[in-house]
Every structure is written in structure tokens, then in C-alpha cells.
Amino acid sequence: MRRFLLKSKIHRARITGTELHYEGSLSLDAGLMEAADLLPYEKIEVYNINNGVRFSTYVIPAPKYSGEVRLNGAAARLGAVGDIIIIASYGLFDQEELSGFKPTLVYVDEFNRIKEVKREILEELV
């Protein structure tokens, strides 16, 4: 059996901008992408803590260490500057891959600077 599990997340990032007239996606500080093991054009889920909206899009890099988290295209209608969001990426895993599996959890401050990165084994999966 294959299972979808959380691969990585960025917890409580703040939206820094919106650009309605753009093709789409979420522009994200390249340093945050690296920390969360996100590749350009990787599918992500976005959960807006302020308004409860949840949506899927893909991520594109913004300048490294800029703190940028910008909603582009139609997604620009789903959040406002200052809203707090969770950015999540999921992976499809075989049962054998679950032994020692460690999701990457990136915690940021109010300026989208990395405070902490955790990689913890979930004992139930081992």
C-alpha cells in the first residue's frame, strides 16, 4: 500500500504581498524553500489561519532571505498581506519508506525568518 504523508511544512508564515495579474503560484523565499525541501514548481497546499481558506498551488522561488511569501494569480484573492499561513507539501510513500521517515517542519518568526527546523521520527510509523 502507498500512503500520502506530510513531507514538509512551513508553519505560520506571513503573506508579504499579492499579485492578482500573474500566471499563478506562490512566490516563496528560496531560503525557506531549501529549508523545507521544496523544489520550484512543486505542488503545495496552503492553509490560511486568518480566514480558514485552504487551496492548492505550486511554489516558485523568490529572492533568498527576502522573507517573501506572495500569493499570485487567483490565489491572490484567498489571502491578504499579514495573514498567517501554513505551507504544506505531501509525498507518496511505500510502506518500506516509512521506517525512519522524518517530515521537515520549518518554524518562522513574524518576518518569515527561520527560527527552527525539526525533523522528527514519528514512532508509530517505524
Q: Which residues are CB-neighbours of 101 under 8 A, at least 6 positions away?
A: 5, 93, 121, 122, 125
CATH label of the domain that carries residue 113: 2.40.40.20
Q: Which of 27, 41, 56, 58 is catalytic?
A: 58
27 is annotated as an active-site residue: no
- pTM to 2 decimals? 0.93
pLDDT tens track for 53-72: 999 999 999 999 999 999 99
Q: Which residues are CB-neighbours of 21 under 8 A, at least 6 positions away?
A: none
Domain count, the chain: 1
pLDDT of amino acid 107 = 98
65 is annotated as an active-site residue: no
